[in-house]
Amino acid sequence: RSRFEAERGRTFAMIKPDAYNHIGKIVDRILEAGFRISNIRMVRFSTENARQFYAEHAGKPFYDGLVGFMSSDVVVGMELVAVDAVPKWRSLMGPTNSNTARNDAPTSIRATFGTDGQRNATHGSDSPASANREINFFFSIPSNTAALNNCTCCVI
């Protein structure tokens, strides 16, 4: 496929609760990699939001822990546009488990900002169809300003 024929596509990226302190650095990496951020939003997932977002994993041993983690604090969701956006973003994130990432892709986002197999800093869609579903889901969540103002690290 020539660069003239290359089609830009989109993916859904999310900065998970464990990476709250690294939001700026992760956004910098996304822009430095050449993505266009075409939409961005901060949300606090309810338990039900997290269950629905990760519905494909329902019944797996890590599902309940994942739902609890993803609803533990705010997330930042982004619609990213680039050529081959889905694999490009997954490559920038690195392997799912941050410990594996530190061995196999030491400069990746999950190697740099994640902790383990669950607390791995970022999410990325696994296909263009998943990206469509996730973007529609995320940007349709009703706003809940009160939940955004709740933080565990300080009293405003």
Q: Name the residues that contact ligand RTP, by CB under 6 A.
A: 62, 66, 96, 117-118, 120, 123-124, 126
| Active-site option among 67, 82, 123, 124 | 123
Q: Residue 78: name its binding partner from ligand RTP, Mg ion, none (Cβ under 5 to 8 Å by kind).
A: none
Of the candidates 148, 93, 100, 79, the residue with the CA atom closest to the CA atom of residue 122: 93
C-beta of 38: minimal distance to Mg ion in Å? Answer: 21
Our CB check for ligand RTP shows the closer of 44 and 125 to be 125
Indicate the helix (H) or strand (E) that contains 38.
strand 36-44
72-108 b/e with 16+ CB inside 10 Å = b? Answer: bbbbbbbbbbbeebbebbbebbbbebbebbbeebeeb
Our CB check for ligand RTP shows the closer of 63 and 139 to be 63
Residues of each annotated binding site for ATP: 16, 62, 90, 96, 110, 120
